[in-house]
A and B are shown apart, each in its own frame.
Chain A
Amino acid sequence: MSNDNNPEVKKDTSMLKQKEMIAGNYEKLTNAKELGLKTSSTFVPGNLNELTRCFDIVNNLPEINALGNAMRKQSGAMISDAEKMGHSEDVCTYVKADIGMMAKGNIAPNGKPMPNPDMLLLSYTGCYTFLKWFELLREQYKCPTVMLHVPYQGDGKGQITQSMRDYVVKQIKEEVIPTMEQVSGVKFDIDKLRELMRNSAKAEDNLVWVLQSAKKKPSPIDGYFGAVYYIGPIFSAFRGTTDAVEFYDLLRGEIQERTDKGLGPVTPDGEMGKEKYRLVTEGPPNWTNFREFWKMFYDEGAVCVASSYSKVGGVYDYDGFRHDPENPIESLAEYCLGCYTNRNLPERTKMMADYIEDYEADGLLINSIKSCNSFAAGELLMLREVENLTGKPGAFIETDLVDPRYFSPANVKNRLESYFQMIEQKRQAA
């Protein structure tokens, strides 16, 4: 997701708009006390942004703070602070970056300290570490903490059972909403929720259009690195807002223009050269060396046409989910249940193979994250299965999200170069 260090160079109108939105949210967060606003922290997957907004609660997303700090090269020091405080070297670095940030006074990108959250919304979707993370935060903030347990789609086949749905709905109705009412002093208004969800669906339509524009050749977007910026508003604090609707309208217009002109993606160094390789990627990107990492792709003419990471805060393209204002709570439950990492490995594998077919990609590249068992455990098998299913070669690289110690540029570059060679050989053999 985006921040000040926006990966793109040319400032499109949409980009300026996103910058404004993000800055505005940090202003609201850091001035919450003066503005008389309540704040809540939550996670990207399974976030209930429309609901939070019904109570005028401002959303803070620690994952986004962590990645922002990594892009600003500050996460390394934060992680080492957390380790000095007794956290193991072996655990998820997002958590440590957040704990380290807290120890350094929780300074937002605008230079002002963030207030302690008034509540923690533990949307327990697709990752077990979330549970420990917010227990650790609760220990410090001692604020109301509401658990929203979203059952894993363990048996897959795209199946969300009625029991799972009912369980999540009941928790939203009987645990989440009452806590939000209590914290904010605002009474729940379902019509307001419907209105926000109408906005969500509009923005989601446009997001999907943008992501699927990568089916064109050349692709007008990068669906992994570039997508970080496209998913920003909808995966963070803005889903449901008119700002997000406007943003995605603008964005769609801009991409339409690029498509009409037959242009490829914009990169931090300007227009990308000729599209030579089309890749599907699995796993989050690395944030500490984001530009350097991306450059290794576009320098070689490699564009990522689809990615699992761009589905982490909601899968809108694969099976057409939209927030539904007619059944708002049920649809929030459905949304949480459907996030990418809440789907089981066989389904994730099939999804990657389908993307390779649908986007006419050359193969699957996995960026395996040291920190993140939720994505990484099982990825080696996924690679093999996708190769078997598609007959296309895959590649595997290893980095970390926000720990600079685990980004080894030479290794990554080598792996990528030999992968591109492999694709060439495969083409020649065909």
Chain B
Amino acid sequence: MSVKEIIDRCEEIFEDLNFTYAREWKVAEDGRKVVGYMPVYVPNEIIHAAGMLPIGILGGGDAMEVIHGDAYYQSYICRIPRSTVELGIMKNLDFVDGMLFPSICDVIRNLSGVWKLLFPEVYARYFDTPQNFRSDIGGEFYKNDLQELREGLEKLGGREITDDDLRNSIQVYNENRDWVRKVYQFRSDQPWKVPASEVYLLMRAGEILTPEDHTQMMKDYLAAVENEERRMKDNCRVVLNGSFCEQPPLGLVKSIELAGCYVVDDDYMMINRMITEDIPTDGDPLLNLSEAFLKHSLDLASKFEPSEEKKGKFIVELVRARGAEGVIFSAPSFCDPALLDQPMLAHVLDDANIPYISFQYAENSGQMQPIREQAGTFADSIKLWSAA
């Protein structure tokens, strides 16, 4: 398949708010179930081990008109809960058998209750991750939490989830994460070959496709893009931070690049990158999932950093590892976790002499011009600065 064919397919999946792929997957065999999850992270391995399809619900984007959702959310709350409620009310999600709401902020947390009230027939679970990272404290709690999720899904699916099922799914996702890392590495090595919008669409597709299909797609993409003739531009290299939940419109992802920035790392799709190392496939699978989160997961605004010295340092390390020249903070309006984290990250960047800019967006932002101008000025100033 050519790059164009793959990306066209991704775009089709991205634009399809009716989730045809997932619907078709569901009816292809009797008894199949689909479980939706909100950003940022849930252990997809358990859903997969239950024989179910996990799909990411990331709001309605800029194509959907929100009519009902606004009656559920005040104007000073971000957009993702209202467009997600809209998807629910408009029956776009009527095939979804379960919904998981990760512990990321009070909005998603309360949305778990909204879902229970609006759709009582759907299995809706608030999914907690620990803020204590000791195996014997946070780990114990988290293992129980994972076990409760496992039991909930067993009930929903009407079948047991064995340890071997889990081990097998861990293996599937290890491979998936490995290819995700390869894509990111490839982009960092040759960003002119892999535009940010393509990586974005490729990763968005991973929120809908089975992990097996998604892994294959990434393999195909990397094979195809190797041979693509794409011209290297005089762009600066930036890391993007703050977009881990409500997503910017695709136009914004493209605008940053058009303005002269190669995005060499980002936090758009955390789910397939949250765990940074292979999870062991032997031993107790829930213990392994738990330890992976405690010991090998990315830093994120909604995760407590126990050490003051380490707070925010990840961004400097990322900038260095990717050979980036600056950081773009790009966060949804009204997003407490991203916006309150930002000043601390900015201080760390100041100390390391790394330039940054910031802007806010909403999933339905229409006007890209100001953002393009801001990013363009930033790129120019970085070039001037490095030339000096």
B110 touches A378 (CB 8 A): yes
Q: B144 near A: Cβ within 8 Å? A: yes
Known pairs A135-B304, A147-B306; A381 contacts B106 (CB<8 A): no
Q: Does A25 contact B (CB under 8 A)?
A: no
Interface size on B (CB < 8 Å)? 59
Report A387 CB to chain B, min CB distance, Å. Answer: 13
Given A381-B72, A398-B74, A128-B109 contact (CB < 8 Å): yes
**Are the C-beta atoms of A95 and B340 separated by less than 8 Å?**
yes
Stretch at the interface among A33-41, A53-61, A343-351, A409-417: A343-351
Cβ-defined partner of B301 (8 Å) among A132, A151, A346, A347: A132
Give chain A's interface residue range (CB within 8 Å of chain B). 35 or more
Q: Which residue of B lies closest to A127 (CB)?
A: B106
User: Which 6 A-B pairs rank lowest in CB-CB distance, beginning with the nearest?
Assistant: A154-B126, A345-B113, A132-B340, A167-B141, A149-B131, A163-B144
Kindly state whether residue A92 has any CB partner on chain B within 8 Å. Answer: yes
A131 touches B118 (CB 8 A): no
Contact code string B4-38 (vs A, CB < 8 Å = 1, else 0): 00000000000000000000000000000000000
Least CB separation from A378: chain B residue = B110
Looking at B170-178, B255-263, B313-321, B343-351, the stretch in contact with chain A turns out to be B343-351
Given contacts A128-B302, A149-B132, A167-B138, contact A345 B110 (CB under 8 A): yes
Nearest CB on A from B303, distance (A)? 9
* Chain B residues in 8 Å Cβ range of A164: 141
Partner of B141, one of A95, A124, A151, A174: A151
A9 adjacent to chain B (CB < 8 Å): no
> A370 contacts the other chain (Cβ, under 8 Å)?
yes
Q: CB-CB < 8 A to A377: which residues of B?
A: 73, 77, 81, 106-107, 109-111
Binds A, one of B158-166, B199-207, B265-273, B328-336: B328-336
> Measured between alpha carbons, how far is A379 from B76 in the docked complex, in Å?
13
Q: Is residue A166 within 8 Å, beta carbon to beta carbon, of the partner chain? A: yes
* A residues less than 8 Å from B343 (CB atoms): 85-87, 136
Q: Is the CB of A128 within 8 A of B337?
A: yes
Is the CB of B39 closer than 8 A to any CB of chain A?
A: no
- Report the nearest B residue to A163, measured CB to CB: B144
Select the residue from A95, A163, A175, A379 with max chain B CB neighbours within 10 A.
A163
Q: Is the CB of A346 within 8 A of B128?
A: no
Task: Look across to chain B and name the residue whose beta carbon is closest to the beta carbon of A138.
Answer: B308
Known: A132-B337, A167-B130, A171-B132. 10 other contacts (CB 8 A): A86-B342, A129-B106, A154-B109, A161-B144, A167-B141, A175-B132, A344-B116, A374-B106, A380-B71, A380-B72
With an 8 A cutoff between CB atoms, is A91 at the interface?
Answer: yes
B92 neighbours in A (Cβ, 8 Å): none
Q: Say whether B125 faces chain A, with CB atoms less than 8 Å apart.
A: yes
Chain B, 275-328, CB within 8 A of any chain A CB: 301-302, 304-306, 308, 311
Min CB distance, A190 to chain B, in Å?
20
Whether A274 is near chain B, meaning CB under 8 Å from some CB there, is no
What is the bound-complex CA distance between A385 and B114, given in angstroms?
10
B145 at the interface (CB under 8 A from A): yes
Query: Does residue B112 face the partner (Cβ distance < 8 Å to A)?
Result: yes
- State how many angstroms separate the Cβ of B330 from the closest Cβ of chain A: 13
Interface assignment of B250: CB less than 8 Å from any CB of chain A: no
Given contacts A139-B311, A170-B140, A175-B137, contact A368 B74 (CB under 8 A): yes
